[in-house]
Amino acid sequence: MVAHSYGGIVTAEAAAGTFGVRPELLVDTFLQDCDPEVQVRAADHLARQSVRVTGQPVGAAAWQQVPSTYLVCAQDRGTPPRLQREFARRAGSVVELDAGHHPFLSQPATVRDLLLSL
């Protein structure tokens, strides 16, 4: 299982009760280390998220029962690395990558190799 950002919480709702990335901030905040063509394609996939995910308790945390690795993105401007390091304390191992918020877009081979090594 691979999860990203909100820990893999998946929700789908209409526009009411949702939030999203302001398109004009997308590149500088989340995609600054991606190639320009990736930045353009990513903008086409923006989706709003339910506000409920920010306060909804997690019913089951698999990382408590299965080996887990946290990938800290040291150049992330969306989720500050200092917070990521705090979140990562719960993981069995921590890997730090000199990447922005979406390393699977900016450094796909590195992320692939990490996943295959787990």
Catalytic residues: 76, 101
**71: β partners:** 95
Residues near 118 by beta carbon (within 8 Å), at least 6 away in sequence: 67, 69
Q: Which are the contacts of 41, defined by CB distance < 8 A and separation ≥ 6?
A: none
- Please tell me the distance from the alpha carbon of residue 100 to that of residue 29, in angstroms, as a whole number: 8
Q: Which residues touch 89 (CB under 8 Å, ≥6 apart)?
A: none
